[in-house]
Amino acid sequence: MGRLEEIKLAKEIIQALLKAKKAVRMYPENNPIYARTVDDVLLKFQDFFTSRSDLHLRIKQNELFLDTEQIYHNPDKEDNLALFFFKDGLRELIFDKDLAKNELDEFLKIIALDFDREAVEDDIVTLLWEKDFHAIKYVVDEAFLLEDDTYESRAVSEVKSLAPQNDELLKAYADAFTADDVKDISIVNLSDKDLQTLVREIEKDLEEKTGKLSEILFEMLFHTESSIEYNDIYHFLTDVIFYSLRHGDLKTVVEIMKKADEIAASPASSENSKHQMRLLTKTLSSDESIKYLGEILESEEALDDTLIHEYVSFLEKDAIPPFISTLGQLKSIHGRKQVINILIGIGKKDLPALAKGLHDSRWYVVRNIIYILRHIGDKKAVEYLLSTARHSDVRVRKESIKALGELKSPLALQILRDCLDDIDTSIRRTSAKSLSSIGSETAKQLLMRKISEKDFKKKDLEEKKEFYEALSRWNDDAMADFVLKTLRKKSIFNKASVDENRACAAYCLGIMERTEALSALSKLKDTKNRLLREYVNAALKRIKHGS
The footprint of another protein on residues 155-214 (CB under 8 A) is 155-156, 158-160, 162-164, 167-173, 175-177, 179-182, 185-188, 190, 192, 194-195, 197-199, 201-202, 204-205, 209-210, 212-213
Task: Determine the 3-state secondary structure of 294 from DSSP.
Answer: helix
Q: Is residue 243 involved in binding another protein (CB under 8 A)?
A: yes
Choose one: 12-20, 121-129, 400-408, 434-442; the region binding another protein (CB under 8 A). 121-129
Choose one: 16-24, 98-106, 442-450, 536-544; the region binding another protein (CB under 8 A). 98-106
CB 91 within 8 A of CB 58: yes
All residues at 6 or more sequence positions from 487 whose CB lies less than 8 Å from its CB, including other chains: 502, 505, 506, 509, 517, 520, 521, 524
In order, the DSSP letters of 311-330 are: HHHT--GGGHHHHHHHHHH-
The one-letter amino acid at 229: E
The span from the first CA to the last CA of the chain, in angstroms, equals 92
**Angstrom distance (rounded) from CA 117 to CA 316:** 36
Q: Which of 76, 78, 116, 223 binds another protein (CB under 8 A)?
A: 223
Q: Is residue 114 involved in binding another protein (CB under 8 A)?
A: no
CB 516 within 8 A of CB 485: no
Distance of closest approach, residue 272 Cβ to another protein, in angstroms: 18
**Angstrom distance (rounded) from CA 475 to CA 487:** 16
Q: Is residue 126 involved in binding another protein (CB under 8 A)?
A: yes
Q: Where is 336: in which H helix or E strand?
A: helix 333-346
Of the pair 138, 323, the CB lying nearest another protein is at 138
Q: Is residue 40 involved in binding another protein (CB under 8 A)?
A: no
Of the pair 242, 364, the CB lying nearest another protein is at 242
According to CB under 8 A, which residues from 247 to 286 bind another protein? none
Of the pair 93, 532, the CB lying nearest another protein is at 93
Of the pair 159, 492, the CB lying nearest another protein is at 159
**Angstrom distance (rounded) from CA 368 to CA 383:** 17
Distance of closest approach, residue 392 Cβ to another protein, in angstroms: 46
Of the pair 211, 328, the CB lying nearest another protein is at 211
The one-letter amino acid at 214: S
Q: Count residues near another protein (CB under 8 A).
A: 76
Of the pair 204, 545, the CB lying nearest another protein is at 204
Of the pair 160, 528, the CB lying nearest another protein is at 160
CB 81 within 8 A of CB 14: yes
Order of strands across the sheet that contains 54-59:
69-73, 63-66, 54-59, 90-96, 136-140
According to CB under 8 A, which residues from 348 to 387 bind another protein? none
Of the pair 243, 371, the CB lying nearest another protein is at 243
The pattern of x and - marking residues 49 through 88 that bind another protein according to CB under 8 A reads ----------------------------------------
Of the pair 165, 306, the CB lying nearest another protein is at 165
Distance of closest approach, residue 202 Cβ to another protein, in angstroms: 7
Q: Is residue 130 involved in binding another protein (CB under 8 A)?
A: yes
Helix axes 250-265, 305-313, angle to 10 degrees: 40
For residue 178, the Cα-to-chain-centroid distance in whole angstroms is 75
Q: Which of 76, 121, 300, 477 binds another protein (CB under 8 A)?
A: 121
Q: Taking the CB of residue 384, how many other CB atoms lie within 10 A of it?
A: 21
